Amino acid sequence: MTLPVMALVGHPNVGKSTLFNRIAEERLAIVDDMPGVTRDRLYAQADWLSREFNIIDTGGLTLEDEPIEEQIYAQAQIAIDEADVIVFVGDVTTGVTSLDEQIARILFQSKKPIVLAVNKVDSQARKSEIFEFYSLGLGEPLAVSGEHGKGIGDVLDAVVANFPAYEEAADENKISFSLIGRPNVGKSSLVNAVLGEERVIVSNIPGTTRDAIDTDFVDEESGLEYTIIDTAGIRKKGKIYESTEKYSVLRALRAIDRSDVILIVIDAEEGIIEQDKRVAGLAHEAGKGIVFIVNKWDTQTSKDHKARMKFESDVRQNFTFLAYVPILFTSAKTKKGLKDILPMVEYVHDNNRREISSSVLNQVIQEAIVINPPPADKGKKLRINYGTQVSVGPPTFLIFVNDEELVHFSYKRYLVNKFRESFDFTGTSLHLIFRNKNK
């Protein structure tokens, strides 16, 4: 299911990051009085009135070497392209500025739902000053205080009311998988190679793919039905859009929402960069099945077993949190390794949906306790009573204990490793939840 997206837009220093933190209920964004402190467009999942959604803080859309007008335009365009609902943030202490008017004109032409939030209304006396913002033509201004958490509910009520209706559930018999990664790693070429036909645009210019393209097909060998999702690149041309890779992150996030298995594509020619880690982190946090695809392996002067071992070691060192993820070496150009992709997607998908009976699970838990008894904390010892699997995608286990506060992260990691030794969970994360038995 694709989660709807709300984006916070406004000129620098209106308090977008503070509102973002309030809505996400975490201090994920850097907050500072200096304009432009937010260096990256941050994103998080939030929920309101039982509706889950993604939220973007567009503070990081500005580039220091660009005129403020171009920065604002880029910020507004990204929000228009990506968001289902746009929250335009004004500042009651400055009133309506020329930048506000400029942003409002751009957003108004988008025809996207817009919620107008006037921030920094920290006192009752300030409330009467918000009516000036009616002049922007964006509807009723809502008074909020990100600093004190006032008025946030009114904004979220309006946002959720404008979200699109729930999408229909995907066909459970069909495996959806997407290829994500930074621009120009060969995602579209791999899609074409897997499909065996030219179904999407292929180019060596980063940002060629403008929209996510879903293609349904049947694997002739296995008879399984698949949906392959080629994640979009940068939709708009221009220096602001193409001078940084961070604009592709949200599209990767949306593709992850809709996929059962994620293929993280790494460029063998350029090696691993920080952006690869960011994209991989998104897939890991979403609990989806994951496969590493090292593409363009044909470009390596040495392609023997030792070279593969060296590159695989580099992947493991850079992605320590994804030690459970298998690695395939491919070349979309020479078709090398492509025959392994679909069987691996099926394999990882099955592991991500694997169910373990309670009797077998508790046998493994008891064996783990015998080998390594839970440690004591301040004279109180952790006792594990029993466990049960509560969901799949990822496999999630509820374990009842005498005191969940006594569960140390190292012992949780130990149990995860024991589960992996006992059951095949290659390619999927595991989620362990500890609860007091009397709850």
Q: Which residues pair with 283 in a beta bridge?
A: none
State the binding site for GTP. 10-17, 57-61, 119-122, 181-188, 230-234, 295-298
Indicate the residue type of 386: Y
Helix axis angle, 187-195 to 341-352, nearest 10° = 100
Which residues are paired to 73 by β-bridges? none
Element containing residue 192 per DSSP (H, E): helix 187-195
**H/E element, 105:** helix 98-110
In sequence order, what are the residues at sequence separation of 6 or more whose Cβ sits closer than 8 angstroms to the Cβ of residue 22? 146, 149, 152
Write out the binding residues. 10-17, 57-61, 119-122, 181-188, 230-234, 295-298
CA distances from 192 to 7, 44, 169, 201, 379 (A): 33, 32, 27, 9, 61
Which stretches of 166-298 are assigned E, i.e. beta strand? 174-180, 213-218, 225-230, 261-267, 289-295
CA angle at 142 for the pair 140 and 143, rounded to the nearest 5°: 145
Return the residue matching tokens 């007091």. 436
**How far is residue 301's CA from residue 294's CA, in Å, rounded to a whole number?**
15
Q: What is the 3-state secondary structure (H, E, C) of 119-178?
A: ECCCCHHHHHHHHHHHHHCCCCEEECECCCCECHHHHHHHHHHCCCCCCCCCCCCEEEEE
Backbone angles phi, psi at 224, to 5 degrees: -80, 145
Distances (CA, A) of 61 to 20, 58, 143, 269, 427: 15, 5, 25, 29, 34
Amino acid at residue number 49: L
